């Protein structure tokens, strides 16, 4: 059996096959080409210059990009020469006269796409993946010391030479190495193996970096690349979200080799998938985009430059609430409404609500076509995700790709993006939400809240008919995500309803929580534990009366958490700290700065976005210790966290007390509680 | 989230910051009511955004709407 699972190289591509659990490699020559367009006289000038160089092969050709047919010059060359050739063309064309295509594509991706090869191919989407031997190395450190090592799920002694020999042996016989290197622990292990003179494959360290995405600072730790093996860092985004099956799915869909897929963002994976799709269809991929934002008036800019619709809920307890969700709303809009850079016009086509644009419907847009396969695949895995965990992992990976596919349409360097598409998508999304609100209201429901692609509606109407009507009108699939016996929308500090903080008890006895401590990673476990226990306490309380009846037990629970904190294990007080800037950039001595200072004194500099687990030993003296370090807990410091964790449930009991006996919801307008 | 122009919620925050300076010389009994007014002004940001109104006009309309709602609910209570 020959099963393709990796490709590497440039001028020669090495295809990695799995042949009855052993790895077989095949090396093939990889000659490629780039395409240049421009005004005829500029192309003729370029042609004259190319004639001067004997080894360059080129031909006049006609190719199409997403907008239409282009006449130009095709230059055949090796991938390793492309960069120098592009530099030369830039000089010849004075940097603006000539447009270059297919010049910055990953050679493996291009070879696979042009030869119609798929990594980790599946005959049926239900089939499981075939993978080479895997080894997994995880370890913990204290300062520069290895505290523990886990090899393939088994603890081994970090002080014994045999342990390192065992690790080396497992690396030697594996095709995939999964390793944790957030505290540079695997680097330390490999260094030690080297010092001991134990044989391992050659490796190199790729330095990590901090980066900002959607207003948050993240950190990519140092990575390890090892000869003849695919190395996956376990804290990398896709692996930590969707595991190996999810990562393999990304590699399969985007034609990006597995190791690369583990370090790129889902957005880059979508972009690669689009490039791969273009190559398969014979569509040119521009090196630099030339489809700038079209001129618009300030009024048009203000009207179109907006995101999704987010309503303002009144804080309170609502009963008999349905949550209805558009499935993959933005990708569905792209696909079903045919939104693509070349289909958006100002002249002909169907009107796009809320924008001055129109969309052509006489041909299928490139973006719509490229994403339709991804969308249908995701919807398929979503429908079977409960059958096998692996399907859920594939679904998660595809969900992330689809989520970012929308954002990329507004990214200035996206190969197939255009801001007008981005504006049209959000505008159509807002239109779909407002239409759904009106349909729901006409059927007797009351709209409580809405966030971009979800609506919470209260009432006894026929939900199935409602969903059918919305589907029919908006052309976007919508499903019921939950039926809540009650849902509590919490107030923000300013007194109006918080947009994304709520807790709901579904009629099947399960909860959905957002924004409260049980969902947050920046609070100590003791807060999560309290809220888990409170949720357990109220789990069968489907009515306000039942909630109020637990008031006594709830008070006992709170007393236990406030008066007996010292009885909880130390791990419950560990806090994850992730500084968002460099130490010297902090103006105040907050916990992030104190932690960075402490780590520096231990010989390790924390980079912005890096995550470390700490405990506060004495807050007055600003003393913190690594989670596994010495020192006792400063309970006074943790008290404020615990009191904050009470707030959501205090509010639940308060609202329930107001609503009991009425059979109605209790929500707070701005002045007083109302009943509905 | 806007791309290059601030959202109505962001613009409203700036307005509220500006108005909040009034509190420095306000009687404490008035401050409480003033804060309620601020909450009222914030409440209809989604609708203001949808209409493409400037945030200041939206703030005023939002506050007026809430005041009328309040008057109506109080009179309905009295009626009951």
Supply the pLDDT for residue A414: 83
Residue A632 inside a domain? The answer is no
Q: Cβ distance A112 to A296 under 8 Å?
A: no
Smallest Cβ distance to A307: which of B2, B44, B66?
B2
Q: Cβ distance A487 to A502 under 8 Å?
A: yes
Q: Cβ separation of B44 and A312 shorter than 8 Å?
A: yes
DSSP state of A305: S
Q: Cβ separation of A309 and B46 shorter than 8 Å?
A: yes
Residue A524 inside a domain? The answer is no
Q: Average of pLDDT values for A143-167?
A: 91
Cα A64 to its chain centre, rounded Å, is 32
Among residues A515, A536, A569, which one ends one of the domains?
A515
**R_g of chain A, CA atoms, integer Å:** 29
A302 CB within 8 Å of a chain B CB: yes
Nearest chain A residue to B40 by CA: give it. A670
Residue A440 inside a domain? The answer is yes
Smallest Cβ distance to A301: which of B5, B42, B69?
B5
Q: How confident is the model at residue A161 (pLDDT cuts 50, 70, 90)?
A: very high
Supply the pLDDT for residue A663: 66
B28 CB within 8 Å of a chain A CB: no
Sequence-separated (6 or more) residues with CB below 8 Å from residue A392: A381, A385, A386
Q: How many CB atoms are located within 10 Å of the residue A155 CB?
A: 11
Taking 70 as the threshold, does the pLDDT of residue A581 lie above it?
yes
Nearest chain B residue to A672 by CA: give it. B70
Q: Cβ distance A476 to A326 under 8 Å?
A: yes
Taking 60 as the threshold, does the pLDDT of residue A350 lie above it?
yes
B11 CB within 8 Å of a chain A CB: no
**R_g of chain B, CA atoms, integer Å:** 15
Q: Cβ distance A639 to A623 under 8 Å?
A: no
d(CA A323, CA A65): 42
Among residues A483, A500, A515, which one ends one of the domains?
A515
**Among candidates A396, A397, A400, A395, which has minimal Cα distance to A384?**
A395
CATH of residue A88: 3.30.70.120
A199 φ/ψ angles, rounded to the nearest 5 degrees: -80, 125
A320 φ/ψ angles, rounded to the nearest 5 degrees: 55, 65
Supply the pLDDT for residue A463: 96
Q: Cβ separation of B3 and A419 shorter than 8 Å?
A: yes
Supply the pLDDT for residue A422: 93
Residue A291 token pair: 């489809």
Supply the pLDDT for residue A577: 92
Of residues A214 and A261, more confidence is placed in A261
Domain of residue A73: give its range: 31-103
Taking 90 as the threshold, does the pLDDT of residue A299 lie above it?
no
Mutate to test the interface with B, among A309, A312, A408, A429 (most CBs of B within 10 A): A312
d(CA A286, CA A284): 6
CATH of residue A436: 3.90.1600.10
For residue A220, give how far its alpha carbon lies from the nearest alpha carbon of chain B (Å): 26
What's the Cα-to-Cα distance from A570 to each of A16, A147, A148, A631, A635, rounded to whole Å?
48, 18, 19, 10, 11
* Geometric angle at alpha carbon A309, from A306 and A314, rounded to 5°: 135
Q: Cβ distance A617 to A625 under 8 Å?
A: yes
Q: Cβ separation of A306 and B2 shorter than 8 Å?
A: yes
pLDDT along chain B (80 residues), means of 10: 74 91 89 92 90 92 95 85
For residue A491, give how far its alpha carbon lies from the nearest alpha carbon of chain B (Å): 12
d(CA A216, CA B73): 43
Written as one string, the DSSP assignment of A456-513 is EEESSS-HHHHHHHHHHHH-S-EEEEEEEEEEEEEE-TTSSEEEEEEEEEETTS-EEE
Residue A163 inside a domain? The answer is no
Taking 70 as the threshold, does the pLDDT of residue A26 lie above it?
yes
Taking 60 as the threshold, does the pLDDT of residue A487 lie above it?
yes
Taking 80 as the threshold, does the pLDDT of residue A102 lie above it?
yes
B35 CB within 8 Å of a chain A CB: yes
Supply the pLDDT for residue B1: 39
What's the Cα-to-Cα distance from A228 to each of A171, A252, A259, A640, rounded to whole Å?
10, 20, 12, 52
Smallest Cβ distance to B66: which of A305, A494, A670?
A670
Residue A209 inside a domain? The answer is no
Strand partners, A324: A455, A480
What pLDDT digit, counting tens, does each position of A414-461 carry?
Answer: 889 889 999 999 999 999 999 999 999 999 999 999 999 999 999 999
For residue A153, give how far its alpha carbon lies from the nearest alpha carbon of chain B (Å): 43
Residue A9 inside a domain? The answer is no
Mean pLDDT of the residues in chain A: 92
Smallest Cβ distance to B3: which of A299, A305, A670?
A305
Taking 90 as the threshold, does the pLDDT of residue A301 lie above it?
no
Q: Cβ separation of B2 and A670 shorter than 8 Å?
A: no
For residue A166, give how far its alpha carbon lies from the nearest alpha carbon of chain B (Å): 52
Q: Average of pLDDT values for A115-127?
A: 95
d(CA A466, CA A484): 17
Q: Cβ separation of A671 and B70 shorter than 8 Å?
A: yes
Q: Cβ distance A653 to A555 under 8 Å?
A: no
Written as one string, the DSSP assignment of B13-78 is HHHHHHHHGGGGGS-HHHHHHHHHHHHHHHTTHHHHHHHT--HHHHHHHHHHHHHHHHHHHHHHHH
Q: Report the SS3 class of residue A454.
A: strand
Q: How many domains does chain A have?
A: 2
Kind and range of the H or E run holding A451: strand A446-451
DSSP state of A87: H
Task: Give me the total of CB pairs closer than 8 Å, taking one residue from chain A and one from chain B.
Answer: 51
For residue B58, give how far its alpha carbon lies from the nearest alpha carbon of chain A (Å): 14
For residue A659, give how far its alpha carbon lies from the nearest alpha carbon of chain B (Å): 17
Residue A76 inside a domain? The answer is yes
d(CA A583, CA A608): 9
Chain B neighbors of A299, CB-CB under 8 A: 52
Nearest chain A residue to B13 by CA: give it. A494
Q: Cβ separation of B70 and A422 shorter than 8 Å?
A: no
Q: Cβ distance B57 to B44 under 8 Å?
A: no
Taking 50 as the threshold, does the pLDDT of residue A676 lie above it?
no
Q: Average of pLDDT values for A526-539?
A: 96
Q: Cβ distance A48 to A92 under 8 Å?
A: no
Question: According to the per-residue pLDDT averaged within each range, which of A29-38, A133-142, A180-189 is highest?
Answer: A29-38
A215 CB within 8 Å of a chain B CB: no
Chain B neighbors of A302, CB-CB under 8 A: 5, 52
Q: Cβ distance A103 to A113 under 8 Å?
A: no
What pLDDT digit, counting tens, does each position of A50-77 carry?
Answer: 999 888 999 999 999 999 999 999 999 9
Q: Cβ separation of B52 and A312 shorter than 8 Å?
A: no
Supply the pLDDT for residue B3: 61
Chain A neighbors of B42, CB-CB under 8 A: 312, 494, 496
Mutate to test the interface with A, among B2, B3, B32 (most CBs of A within 10 A): B3
What pLDDT digit, counting tens, does each position of A499-516 carry?
Answer: 999 999 999 999 999 999
Taking 80 as the threshold, does the pLDDT of residue A280 lie above it?
yes
B5 CB within 8 Å of a chain A CB: yes
Least confident of A229-238, A292-301, A474-483: A292-301
Supply the pLDDT for residue A273: 96
Q: How confident is the model at residue A670 (pLDDT cuts 50, 70, 90)?
A: very low
Sign for the pseudo-dihedral over CA of A44, A46, A50, A52 = positive
Q: How confident is the model at residue A1 (pLDDT cuts 50, 70, 90)?
A: low
Q: Cβ separation of B50 and A495 shorter than 8 Å?
A: no
Q: Average of pLDDT values for A163-190?
A: 93
Among residues A515, A545, A569, which one ends one of the domains?
A515
Q: Average of pLDDT values for A235-253?
A: 95
Q: How confident is the model at residue A124 (pLDDT cuts 50, 70, 90)?
A: very high
Q: How confident is the model at residue A669 (pLDDT cuts 50, 70, 90)?
A: low
């Amino acid at each position: 059996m020959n099963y393709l699972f990796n490709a590497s190289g440039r001028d020669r591509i090495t295809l990695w096959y799995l042949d009855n659990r052993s790895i077989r490699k095949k090396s093939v020559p990889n000659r490629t080409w780039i395409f240049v367009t421009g005004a005829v006289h500029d192309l003729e000038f370029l042609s004259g210059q190319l004639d001067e160089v004997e080894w360059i092969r080129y031909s006049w050709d006609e190719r199409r990009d997403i907008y239409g047919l282009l006449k130009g010059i095709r230059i055949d060359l090796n991938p390793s020469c492309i960069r120098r050739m592009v530099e030369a063309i830039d000089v010849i064309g004075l940097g603006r006269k000539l447009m270059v295509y297919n010049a910055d594509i990953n050679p493996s991706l291009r070879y696979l796409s042009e030869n119609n090869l798929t990594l980790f191919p599946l005959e049926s989407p239900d089939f499981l993946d075939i993978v080479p031997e895997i080894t997994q190395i995880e370890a913990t450190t204290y300062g520069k010391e290895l505290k523990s090592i886990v090899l393939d799920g088994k603890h081994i002694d970090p002080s014994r030479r045999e342990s390192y020999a065992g690790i080396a042996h497992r690396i030697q016989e594996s095709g995939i190495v999964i390793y944790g290197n957030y505290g540079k622990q695997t680097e330390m292990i490999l260094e030690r193996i080297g010092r001991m003179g134990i044989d391992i494959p050659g490796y190199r360290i790729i330095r990590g970096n901090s980066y900002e995405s959607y207003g948050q600072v993240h950190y990519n730790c140092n990575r390890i690349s090892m000869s003849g093996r695919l190395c996956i860092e376990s804290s990398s985004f896709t692996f930590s979200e969707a595991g190996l099956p999810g990562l393999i799915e990304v590699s399969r869909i985007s034609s990006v080799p597995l190791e690369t897929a583990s370090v790129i963002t889902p957005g880059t994976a979508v972009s690669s998938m689009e490039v791969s799709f273009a190559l398969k269809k014979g569509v040119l991929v521009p090196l630099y985009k030339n489809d700038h934002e079209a001129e618009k008036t300030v009024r048009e800019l203000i009207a179109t430059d907006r995101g999704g619709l987010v309503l303002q809920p009144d804080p309170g307890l609502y009963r008999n609430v349905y949550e209805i969700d558009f499935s993959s709303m933005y990708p569905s809009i792209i696909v079903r409404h045919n939104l693509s850079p070349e289909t958006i016009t100002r002249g002909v086509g169907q009107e796009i609500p809320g924008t001055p644009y129109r969309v052509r419907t006489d041909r299928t847009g490139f973006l719509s076509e490229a994403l339709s396969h991804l969308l249908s695949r995701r919807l398929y895995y979503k429908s079977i995700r409960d059958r096998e965990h692996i399907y859920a992992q594939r679904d998660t990976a595809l969900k992330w790709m689809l989520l970012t596919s929308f954002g990329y349409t507004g990214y200035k360097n996206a190969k197939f993006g255009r801001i007008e598409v981005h504006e049209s998508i959000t505008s159509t999304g807002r239109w779909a939400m407002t239409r759904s609100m009106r349909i729901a209201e006409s059927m007797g429901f009351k709209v409580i809240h809405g966030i971009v692609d979800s609506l919470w509606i209260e009432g006894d109407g026929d939900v199935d008919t409602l969903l059918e009507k919305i589907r029919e009108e908006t052309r976007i699939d919508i499903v019921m995500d939950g039926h809540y016996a009650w849902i509590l929308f919490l107030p923000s500090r300013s007194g109006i309803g918080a947009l994304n903080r709520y807790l709901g008890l579904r009629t099947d006895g399960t909860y959905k929580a957002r924004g409260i401590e049980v969902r947050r990673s920046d609070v100590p476990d003791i807060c999560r534990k309290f809220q888990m226990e409170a949720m357990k306490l109220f789990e069968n309380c489907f009515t306000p009366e039942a909630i109020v009846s637990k008031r006594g037990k709830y008070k006992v629970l709170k007393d236990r958490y406030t008066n007996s904190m010292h009885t909880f294990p130390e791990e419950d007080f560990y806090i994850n700290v992730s500084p968002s800037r460099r130490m010297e950039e902090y103006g105040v001595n907050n916990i992030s700065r104190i932690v960075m200072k402490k780590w520096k004194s231990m010989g390790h500099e924390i980079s912005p976005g890096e995550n470390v687990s700490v405990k506060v030993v004495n807050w007055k003296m600003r003393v913190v210790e690594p989670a596994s370090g010495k020192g006792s807990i400063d309970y006074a410091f943790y008290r404020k966290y615990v009191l904050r964790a009470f707030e959501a449930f205090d509010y639940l009991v308060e609202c329930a007390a107001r609503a009991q006996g009425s059979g109605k919801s209790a929500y707070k307008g701005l002045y007083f509680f109302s009943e509905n | 989230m806007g791309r290059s122009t601030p959202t109505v919620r962001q613009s409203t925050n700036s307005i509220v910051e500006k108005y909040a300076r009034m509190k420095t010389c306000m009687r404490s009994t008035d401050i409480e009511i003033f804060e309620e007014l601020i909450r009222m002004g914030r409440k209809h940001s989604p609708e203001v955004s949808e209409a493409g109104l400037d945030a200041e006009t939206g703030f005023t309309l939002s506050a007026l709407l809430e005041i009328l709602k309040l008057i109506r609910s109080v009179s309905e209570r009295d009626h009951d």
